[in-house]
């Protein structure tokens, strides 16, 4: 007699795997666009205001017209800012920017010339002279 197998069916497994793939794809897209789609979706569902990193809050802050006076800082300072939901490095002051220390690198060094072979500096023997004369 055949008995029924217990556990998940093929269609149930397909649905679970498709939902896991959709979540993974949303995470990868979120990382690619440097945004948090999960937090944005949660804020839309709960009705709470979006996080400070979203495009709507930065657009509202720039549209208000009453900009906060920021004291002038020395030139050449890099700041990590979030503009339109994207993280960028900028030398312009931004309200939520963090100062980033730049690492000075040497870049690509030119290859050094190889040292001459000691055989070239030694005087040629008579056999070597004859071979070279014959090959000319």
pLDDT, one tens digit per residue, over 40-89 is 888 889 988 765 544 444 444 444 444 454 555 566 778 888 888 888 88
**Segments forming the whole domain that contains residue 95:** 52-107
Domain co-membership, 72 together with 97: yes
Q: Is residue 85 part of a domain?
A: yes
Domain co-membership, 39 together with 62: no
pTM of the model: 0.35
- What is the reported pLDDT for 120? 61
Whether the pLDDT of residue 107 is over 90: the answer is no
Tokens of 31: 């990382």
Domain co-membership, 36 together with 70: no
Q: Is residue 118 part of a domain?
A: no
High-pLDDT (> 90) share of the chain, %: 15
Domain co-membership, 42 together with 65: no
46-55, 62-71, 107-116, 125-134: which has the highest mean pLDDT?
Answer: 125-134
Across the beta sheet with 98-100, the strand order is 86-90, 78-83, 98-100
Domain co-membership, 60 together with 17: no
pLDDT tens, residue by residue, 3-17: 777 888 899 999 999
Q: To 10 degrees, the CA torsion angle through 11, 14, 16, 20?
A: -170
- What is the reported pLDDT for 50? 63
Residue 79's Cβ-side half-sphere holds a number of Cα atoms within 13 Å equal to: 15
Domain co-membership, 89 together with 103: yes
Q: Quick one: CA dihedral 21, 22, 23, 25, positive or negative?
A: positive
When pLDDT is cut at 50, 70 and 90, the band that residue 112 belongs to is confident
Q: Quick one: CA dihedral 26, 28, 34, 39, positive or negative?
A: positive
Domain co-membership, 15 together with 43: yes
**Domains identified in the chain, total number:** 2
Average pLDDT score over residue span 15-24: 97
Domain co-membership, 19 together with 45: yes
């Amino acid at each position: 007699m055949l008995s029924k197998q217990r556990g998940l069916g093929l269609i149930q497994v397909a649905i679970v795997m498709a939902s896991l793939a959709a979540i993974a794809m949303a995470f990868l897209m979120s990382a690619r666009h440097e945004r948090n789609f999960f937090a944005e979706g949660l804020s839309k569902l709960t009705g709470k205001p979006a996080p400070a990193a979203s495009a709507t809050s930065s657009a509202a802050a720039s549209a208000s017209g009453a900009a906060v006076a920021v004291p002038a800082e020395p030139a050449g300072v890099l700041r990590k800012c979030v503009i339109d939901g994207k993280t960028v490095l900028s030398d312009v002051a931004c309200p939520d920017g963090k100062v980033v220390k730049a690492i000075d690198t040497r870049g690509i060094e030119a290859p050094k010339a190889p040292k001459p072979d000691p055989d070239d500096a030694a005087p040629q023997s008579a056999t070597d002279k004859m071979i070279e004369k014959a090959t000319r």
